[in-house]
Amino acid sequence: MPLFIALSSLITSELSIIDGKCQEFLTLVQDGLEVSRSFAGNERFDIFLDQENPGKVLFIKQ
């Protein structure tokens, strides 16, 4: 009987965006986000904004 092993990795990245450029950055990455989410094997790809510091952006990819 064949043995199948599923592996998953979790990657986090935190970025600091220049003051006043956060909305421009989010607009820029929006199209790329949809493309990344459509890749085979993608389990999750999310972007979170720090509500207390809008220049901090967290990417989570699994």
Q: What does DSSP assign to residue 38?
A: T
Domain count across the chain: 1
Closest CA to 36 of 18, 9, 17, 61: 61
Position 48 in a domain: yes
Higher per-residue pLDDT: 42 or 6: 42
- Average pLDDT of span 33-39: 86
Q: What distance in Å separates the CA atoms of residue 43 and residue 57, rounded to the nearest whole number?
A: 20
CATH number of the domain where residue 32 is located: 3.30.70.100
CA-derived radius of gyration, the chain: 15
Position 32 in a domain: yes
pLDDT digits (tens, 9 = 90+) for 38-50: 888 889 999 998 8
| Structure-token pair, residue 30 | 């929006």
Expressed as residue numbers, the domain containing 46 is 11-61
- Average pLDDT of span 18-37: 86
Q: Does residue 8 register a pLDDT over 90?
A: no
Quickly count: other Cβ atoms within 10 Å of residue 57's Cβ: 19
| Structure-token pair, residue 6 | 């599923």
